[in-house]
């Protein structure tokens, strides 16, 4: 889990209390906790927009959005993204942003990239940096207190470097544009899929390998460009949501992580954007929701069609991967574009109180 999914031991320690429960009960508890995290993240998104949203209102909206592929898939797979969304919402609303960004970065590295523009935007950057470092030390120290070997292996045994290197490299079985290019060669029968990534990549011809590497380099360039742009606009407090969205989407491009649930941390940003944006902004957010629902229908429809015809669902795997990748990339870019076209209210600095002297 740690090596393959850019997860630190923190996620394992979060689910450790459920280890002695039955699988069904543990999954239900985790799903309820994930759902509540999304509800609170939505409330925090409203707070960032200067609008007071009751938890009941967010709960109703979340129930309506539950069928969307991005949300539903996070529950099906027991993902950590809802808790990253909670951290994004806290940072967006100005609640312990340094600690929230540090927690998200340790829990899920690509999505935790939203801490980068926060660092640049902080009024007192040295203070923010100190707070982030202290928060990280506390998280690691508490985690290492209960699982010292796991954290030692992660930090000093090469696991952290392998996760970074693996996700910056070629992952031909991921849902990313370069992986889809590789998958096309497998699907047309250029070589059989053995699910040995290194062997399958080596078996491709030089032209195919060059095309895959060129696509991956383009992803890295887009990701780096989005991160640079997020830092550039981060000093404008009214655009902090756009900066955070650009950093999250940029992190996903850098990591080549485009499964449909990876952009779930954008949820509080989408809520804040919807509340402050005009009709054009809401149209883009509506298109993002429809894209998620359409992806769900395509994937489920492919499985039902295969079952109705007595055929293996594997034949519809290309369709599912296109839908999954299209959902994640499309939803992320639409929310980013909507945030780019809107402005959040800037909190007023606290007024200095005048102290009257005697007389």
Tracing tokens 């942003």 back to the chain, one arrives at 97
Average pLDDT over residues 254-283: 86
Instruction: Give mean pLDDT, residues 350-357.
Output: 50
pLDDT 10s digits, 91-130: 999 899 989 989 988 888 777 788 888 877 776 677 888 8
Question: Measuring CA to CA, which residue among 145, 127, 146 is closest to residue 135?
Answer: 127
Read off the DSSP letter of residue 158. S
What is the average per-residue pLDDT within 190-203?
58
335 pLDDT exceeds 80? Answer: yes
What would the two tokens of residue 137 be?
């030390």
The pLDDT of residue 2: 37
Dihedral angle computed from the Cα positions of residues 55, 338, 218 and 80, in that order, rounded to the nearest 10 degrees: 0
- The mean of the pLDDT values for the chain is 78
Phi, psi of 134 (to 5 degrees): -65, -40
Instruction: Return the ∠ at Cα 271 (arms to 120 and 100), rounded to 5°.
Output: 40
* Residue appearing with tokens 């982030």: 132
pLDDT at 128: 84
Q: Minimum mean pLDDT among 146-155, 246-255, 316-325: which range?
A: 316-325
The token pair at 274 is 């919807």
pLDDT tens column, 197-229: 556 666 777 777 788 888 888 888 999 999 999
CA-to-CA dists, residue 247 to 64, 114, 161, 270, 334, angstroms: 28, 5, 21, 14, 14
- Higher pLDDT, residue 190 or 273: 273
List of residues 6+ apart from 52 with CB closer than 8 A? 46
Query: Of the ranges 109-123, 184-198, 223-237, 245-259, which one carries the lowest mean pLDDT score?
Result: 184-198
CA 350 vs CA 92, 93, 94: distances in Å: 18, 16, 14
Mean pLDDT of the 175-181 span: 69
Q: Where are the beta strands (DSSP E) in the chain?
A: none
192: pLDDT strictly greater than 60: no
pLDDT of residue 273: 93
Which of 105, 91, 83 shows the shortest CA–CA distance to 14? Answer: 83
Judge whether residue 162 has pLDDT over 90: no
User: In the predicted model, is pLDDT for residue 191 greater than 60?
Assistant: no
With a cut of 50, say whether residue 4 has pLDDT above it. Answer: no
State mean pLDDT over 245-270.
85
Contact 258, 315 (CB under 8 A): no
Helices (H) and strands (E) in the chain, counts: 18, 0
Asked whether residue 313 carries a pLDDT value surpassing 60, the answer given is no
pLDDT above 50: residue 243: yes
Q: What pLDDT sits at residue 189?
A: 56
Length of the chain: 359
pLDDT at residue 308, rounded to an integer: 64
Dist CA 201 CA 193 (whole Å): 10
Q: Indicate the pLDDT class of residue 164, thresholds 50, 70 and 90.
A: low
Please compute Rg for the chain using Cα positions.
22
Whether the CB-CB separation of 279 and 145 falls below 8 Å is answered with no
Give me the pLDDT at residue 38, please: 86
> For the chain, what percent of residues have pLDDT higher than 70?
67
pLDDT digits (tens, 9 = 90+) for 11-48: 888 888 888 888 888 888 888 888 888 888 988 999 99
Name the token pair of 267: 């949820």
Q: What is the DSSP string of 104-150?
A: HHHH-TTGGGGHHHHHHH-SSHHHHHHHHHHHHHHHHHHHHHH-HHH
Residue 131 confidence (pLDDT): 87
Instruction: Please tell me which residue, 101 or 79, carries the higher pLDDT value.
Output: 101
């Amino acid at each position: 889990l740690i090596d393959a999914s850019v997860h630190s031991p923190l996620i394992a320690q979060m689910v450790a209390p459920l280890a002695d429960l039955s699988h069904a009960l543990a999954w239900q508890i985790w799903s309820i906790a994930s759902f509540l995290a999304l509800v609170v993240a939505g409330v925090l998104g409203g707070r960032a927009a200067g609008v007071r949203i009751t938890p009941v209102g967010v709960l109703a909206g979340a129930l309506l959005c539950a069928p969307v592929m991005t949300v539903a898939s996070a529950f099906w797979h027991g993902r950590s993204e809802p808790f990253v969304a909670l951290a994004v919402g806290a940072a967006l609303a100005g609640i312990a942003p340094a600690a929230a960004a540090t927690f998200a970065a340790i829990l899920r590295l690509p999505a935790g990239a939203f801490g980068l523009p926060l660092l640049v935007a902080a009024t007192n950057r040295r203070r923010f940096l100190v707070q982030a470092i202290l928060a990280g030390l506390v998280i690691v120290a508490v985690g290492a207190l209960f699982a010292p070997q796991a954290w030692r292996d992660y930090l000093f045994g090469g696991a952290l470097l392998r996760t970074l290197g693996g996700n910056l490299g070629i992952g031909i079985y991921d849902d990313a544009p370069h992986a889809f290019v590789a998958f096309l060669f497998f699907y047309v029968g250029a070589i059989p899929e053995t699910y040995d990534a290194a062997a399958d990549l080596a078996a491709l011809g030089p032209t195919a390998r060059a095309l895959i590497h060129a696509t991956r380099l383009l992803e890295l360039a887009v990701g780096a460009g989005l991160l640079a742009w997020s830092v550039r606009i981060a000093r404008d407090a009214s655009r902090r949501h756009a900066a955070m969205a650009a950093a999250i989407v940029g992190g996903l491009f850098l990591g080549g992580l485009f499964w449909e649930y990876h952009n779930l941390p954008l949820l509080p940003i989408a809520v804040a954007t919807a509340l402050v944006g005009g009709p054009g902004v809401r149209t883009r957010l509506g298109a993002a929701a429809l894209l998620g629902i359409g992806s769900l229908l395509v994937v489920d429809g492919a499985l039902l069609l295969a079952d109705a015809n007595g055929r293996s669902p594997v034949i519809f795997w290309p369709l599912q991967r296109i839908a999954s990748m299209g959902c994640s990339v499309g939803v992320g870019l639409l929310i980013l574009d909507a945030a780019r076209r809107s402005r959040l209210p800037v909190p007023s600095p606290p007024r200095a109180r005048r102290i009257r002297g005697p007389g």
